[in-house]
Amino acid sequence: MAHRGRLNVLANIMQKPAADIFTEFEGRPSEDSVFDGDVKYHMGYSADVKTPDGKTVHISLTPNPSHLETVGPVVLGITRAKRDGLHQRDESKVCPILVHGDAAIAGQGVVYEVAQMAELEAYRVGGTLHFVINNQVGFTTNYTDARTSTYCTDIAKVTKCPVFHVNGDDVEALCLVTQFALEFRQTFKKDVYIDILCYRKYGHNEGDEPRFTQPLLYKAISTHPNPKEIYQNRLISNNDFTKEALHAIEKKYKTVLESELDIARKRETLKVNSYLQGAWSGIRMAKAEDFYNSPQSGITDDVFLNLANRITTLPPNTTFFNKIQRLYQDRKTMITQNSYDWAMGELMAYASLLHEGHTVRFSGQDVERGTFSHRHAVVKIEDSEDEYEPLAQVSAHAKLEIYNSLLSEYGVLGFEYGYAFAAPNTLTIWEAQFGDFFNGAQIIIDQYLSSSEYKWRRMNGLVVLLPHGYEGQGPEHSSARMERFLQMCAEDNMQIVNATTPAQQFHVLRRQLKWPFRKPLICFTPKKLLRFPECVSTRADFTSTTNFQEVLNDPAVTTPEAVHTVVLCSGKVYYDLAAYKRDHQLAAFAIIRLEQLYPFPYTQLERILKLYTKATTFLYVQEEPENMGSWRFAEHHLRKLSKHLVLQSGALLLWNYCGRKESASPATGFSKRHQAEHDELLKQVFVSAQTPSPLNV
């Protein structure tokens, strides 16, 4: 909901103790030192409220930032998760309510994205109640400057939803309309909008000087009785209450508030309510030592082979396109040849989690097939619109929910964040069509994914897949802006991974539900490597006691003491470096892969670096320009590591950068220039290793 009126809702609807609210205003520190907190108008709350007929209704107010309307898709995602899990898909048992401002509902594009989700199979929740607090002003902007449409609620016309316009001064009319709207929603499972025509008495924050910007409007408002007075006079004139009785009610409530304020003033700390109950039972907050090693995530040989055969088998007596039949036959061949590509590694992660009883929810643009036509988790039957999902055959209980999304990043990422918010034991995934397209949802990354645990003490295990890699495809199809995510990393708030093998991707996806806690996982996924002959894994990489490896040593090095140059890199560029090293027989170079960039794997990297006792040169190599990618983030952590690590050779670990020079654009759009930069990068690493400098192609 919006900020204004939130404390009233918390106290009188959610029944949050007034003492807790007053404690927040007193500015007391949190009893949990990890919890940084947020302003009072952003905090969430949950309560079980008794209705007059003795029933219990669970009500949750979702925490949200100041960014208007961002919480809309989050609330719908939470609702969908509760619908799917707690209520066995019964949409009548759970209802989302969004409280908008008039300027926000008309001005924020995410409102349109959410409206278009309303009846899509992937996102429907059975209708949303939209309350619009129509104050006829946005901060200091008159409504005539805030929209072109006649009504602020005209977005409802797009999806042919009813709109009720009601006078905010008429309390009983508003109650009647609300009951009518809810009955409509329950009957027809559609969105309903309620436009409450009202005003702000004292400006934007009820302590402003509105006459600065709306002198005529607020001159009229200043003489207008408030809704409480109007309703009191109505009750008195109807002989429902006496003036004295109403005064006694008000006095009693103020006495209660004064008592609660006294309690708050005596408190030393702010109590933090735990949400680790219900769906979150059995999950705990993370500890720093949790990241020293990944949990075991391998599966047995028998289970692996059984699942691999099941997800590569198309049903008999059903005709599929020739290309589909050939693709699935190729996957069968991987089993006999014991060589699995990226798609098989990824699909085996989902299959194994489904086999263990975990639901997998996955949405994004073109995710069923995959933007790069590698996944094919859903295949069409020839000459029809019928579909077949091999992964749906894995478990009779756990479901694969995979959906091609509407053309939205902001709304969809917010929805999936909300789903993961309420379904910690489901693997919830959003994939960008190309990695850099996440920037259309930057607000969700900034305000929720990276910071919610420390603002609101709410964990979230959402997985974000971002295709990334420099292949001459231009500035919009190369970089998932790794540097932006890394800049937001602190206090172990996220996991940033750039895996280079199918098995590594398998393990990191399974790791999400093997951790005893939940953290967002940002995966920079490949494009070229999806079909690259050398990017394969064997069955042994997936099975037994295997787990995700945060750092991978150079498999071509047999005599570490003969290495004089250590090359540290992350992602697809490893294969380019390894090919050059192999082709030119440069055995004195060791190429180490940082598979996990954050939390930074100090102990894992240190173990490997200690093997290279005679190394004297240390290079950090990346494809991205120097001001982008992982270099500047990694350099900071490598300096910390170098302070206490001196190799047997006596060399200090002074890391030099090898890569493209600084650039305003992520990548060139000219293929020949890209190739020239690529060739120069390899030359810089292996020919000019002793005196590296940024590329000047």
Q: What is the pLDDT of residues 531-542, one digit of tens each?
A: 999 999 999 999
pLDDT band at 30 (very low <50, low <70, confident <90, very high): low
Task: Calculate the CA dihedral of residues 379, 381, 386, 389 and round it to 10 degrees.
Answer: -30
Closest CA relative to residue 36, chosen from 636, 490, 343: 490
Q: What is the strand order of the sheet 495-497 is part of? A: 400-404, 360-364, 427-431, 463-467, 521-525, 495-497, 596-598
Residue 676 lies in a domain: yes
Q: Are residues 537 and 656 in the same domain?
A: no
Residue 232 lies in a domain: no
Q: What is the pLDDT of residues 391-414, one digit of tens each?
A: 999 998 899 999 999 999 999 999
Residue 82 lies in a domain: no
- Checking if the pLDDT of 53 tops 60, the result is yes
Q: Are residues 466 and 584 in the same domain?
A: no
pLDDT of residue 625: 96
CATH number at residue 391: 3.40.50.12470
Q: What is the pLDDT of residues 77-121, one digit of tens each?
A: 999 999 999 999 999 999 999 999 999 999 999 999 999 999 999
Query: Which of 136-145, 148-157, 611-620 has the highest mean predicted lDDT (pLDDT)?
Result: 148-157
Q: Are residues 607 and 500 in the same domain?
A: no
Q: How many domains does the chain have?
A: 3
248, amino acid identity: A
- Checking if the pLDDT of 652 tops 80, the result is no
Q: Are residues 534 and 572 in the same domain?
A: no
Q: Are residues 323 and 464 in the same domain?
A: yes
pLDDT of residue 689: 60
Q: What is the pLDDT of residues 590-619, one digit of tens each?
A: 999 999 999 999 999 999 999 998 998 999
pLDDT of residue 36: 63
For residues 515 and 43, the model is more confident at 515
Q: Are residues 478 and 564 in the same domain?
A: no
Residue 264 lies in a domain: no
The pTM of the full predicted model, rounded to 2 decimals, is 0.94
Where a domain ends, among 66, 92, 110? 66
pLDDT band at 146 (very low <50, low <70, confident <90, very high): very high
Residue 478 lies in a domain: yes
Task: Report, as an integer, the average pLDDT of 154-165.
Answer: 97
Q: Are residues 384 and 405 in the same domain?
A: yes
pLDDT band at 33 (very low <50, low <70, confident <90, very high): low
Q: Are residues 407 and 517 in the same domain?
A: yes
DSSP code of 449? I
pLDDT of residue 654: 85
Q: Are residues 560 and 536 in the same domain?
A: no
Is the CB of residue 449 less than 8 Å from the CB of residue 494?
Answer: yes
Unique residue bearing structure tokens 């990276």: 450
State which residues form the domain around 580.
551-686
pLDDT of residue 186: 98
- Checking if the pLDDT of 509 tops 50, the result is yes
pLDDT of residue 32: 56
pLDDT band at 653 (very low <50, low <70, confident <90, very high): confident
Distance CA 317, CA 279 (A): 42
pLDDT band at 134 (very low <50, low <70, confident <90, very high): very high
- Checking if the pLDDT of 668 tops 80, the result is yes
For residues 694 and 10, the model is more confident at 10
pLDDT band at 642 (very low <50, low <70, confident <90, very high): confident
Count of beta carbons in the 10 Å neighbourhood of residue 217: 16
pLDDT band at 697 (very low <50, low <70, confident <90, very high): very low
Task: Report, as an integer, the average pLDDT of 139-143.
Answer: 89
Distance CA 494, CA 598 (A): 7
Q: Are residues 555 and 537 in the same domain?
A: no
pLDDT of residue 696: 45
pLDDT band at 587 (very low <50, low <70, confident <90, very high): very high
pLDDT of residue 658: 95
Residues in the chain: 697
Q: Are residues 500 and 465 in the same domain?
A: yes
Cis amide bond preceding 599, omega within 30: yes
